[in-house]
């Protein structure tokens, strides 16, 4: 059903047709799969790069001017690319790794390339939130740098890290939709093929609902966990 020949109300009603939703099961699965795998990769590498930036930064535990500025520059370069350009750029890389340049797994690489730098910056700013005094206290007790990172900085900033990760997951969800245009499948693919190319706006609406729900669940979970930790610690 299309908005071209039906009223908005009719399209909305049609968008709840069970047939449409049955066909959406697989694409939703693909989107969730892409989001989960990409999120794990982004979390892992984002934290590593973020920690690297924090400790090598000018006020860090181990200031290293050249590596810090080099990685900072690299991140800025990757972040200045629009997500769509990153997807196109990563096509040869995906072909190298998976043997084909399209499909769900291929797009995960593009998502990682685009979202790791973003999350690394978020991690960096979260980790820098920690009071200098706490690090000083940890040092005065005789902690080495590794202990300061794993036992003080990360646990202390954990709620903030979770909130940052929520932001990253949401932008990963939006990027999976974009990746749908480039043969990654998922909800974005349905929205483009049916909603855009065939004017089937009922399906488009159904895609919108799902995306809204996915983002709400992500944000809700993130807030819940981070607030629960803050409450346990008596900080709110």
**Site for another protein, rule CB under 8 A:** 131, 133-134, 136-144, 147, 151-152, 155-156, 158, 232-235
Minimum distance of another protein from residue 131's CB (angstroms): 7
* Smaller CB separation from another protein, 4 or 235: 235
Minimum distance of another protein from residue 146's CB (angstroms): 10
* Smaller CB separation from another protein, 95 or 139: 139
Query: 113 and 86 in contact (C-beta within 8 Å)?
Result: yes
Query: 145 and 54 in contact (C-beta within 8 Å)?
Result: no
Minimum distance of another protein from residue 234's CB (angstroms): 3
Minimum distance of another protein from residue 163's CB (angstroms): 15
* Smaller CB separation from another protein, 195 or 222: 222
Minimum distance of another protein from residue 219's CB (angstroms): 23
d(CA 229, CA 231) in angstroms, rounded, equals 5
Query: 188 and 181 in contact (C-beta within 8 Å)?
Result: yes
Q: What is the 3-state secondary structure (H, E, C) of 195-226?
A: HHCCCCHHHHHHHHHHHHHHHHHHHHHHHHHH
User: Which spans in the chain are helix H?
Assistant: 8-14, 18-56, 65-80, 83-89, 91-98, 104-127, 132-141, 145-147, 154-179, 186-190, 201-232
DSSP class of 57: S
* Smaller CB separation from another protein, 100 or 151: 151
d(CA 177, CA 61) in angstroms, rounded, equals 40
Angle made by CA atoms 136, 141, 143, in degrees to the nearest 5: 80
* Smaller CB separation from another protein, 82 or 129: 129
Minimum distance of another protein from residue 142's CB (angstroms): 4
* Smaller CB separation from another protein, 98 or 158: 158
């Amino acid at each position: 059903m299309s908005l071209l020949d039906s009223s908005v109300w009719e399209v909305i009603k049609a968008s709840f047709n069970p047939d449409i939703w049955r066909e959406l099961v697989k694409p939703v699965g693909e989107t969730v799969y892409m989001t989960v795998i990409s999120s794990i990769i982004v979390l892992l590498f984002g934290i590593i790069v973020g920690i690297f930036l924090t400790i090598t930064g000018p006020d860090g535990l181990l200031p290293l001017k050249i590596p810090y500025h080099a990685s900072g520059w690299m991140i800025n370069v990757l972040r200045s690319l629009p997500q769509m350009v990153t997807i196109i750029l990563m096509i040869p890389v995906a072909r190298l790794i998976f043997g084909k340049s399209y499909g769900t797994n291929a797009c995960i690489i593009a998502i990682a390339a685009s979202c790791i730098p973003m999350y690394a910056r978020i991690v960096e700013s979260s980790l820098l939130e920690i009071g200098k005094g706490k690090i000083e206290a940890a040092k005065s007790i005789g902690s080495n740098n590794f202990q300061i990172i794993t036992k003080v900085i990360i646990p202390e900033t954990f709620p903030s890290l979770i909130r940052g990760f929520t932001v990253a997951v949401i932008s990963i969800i939006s990027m999976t939709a974009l990746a749908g245009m480039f043969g990654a499948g998922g909800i974005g693919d349905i929205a483009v093929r049916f909603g855009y190319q065939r004017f089937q706006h009922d399906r488009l609406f159904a895609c919108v609902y799902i995306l809204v729900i996915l983002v709400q669940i992500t944000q809700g979970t993130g807030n819940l966990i981070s607030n629960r930790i803050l409450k346990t610690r008596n900080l709110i």
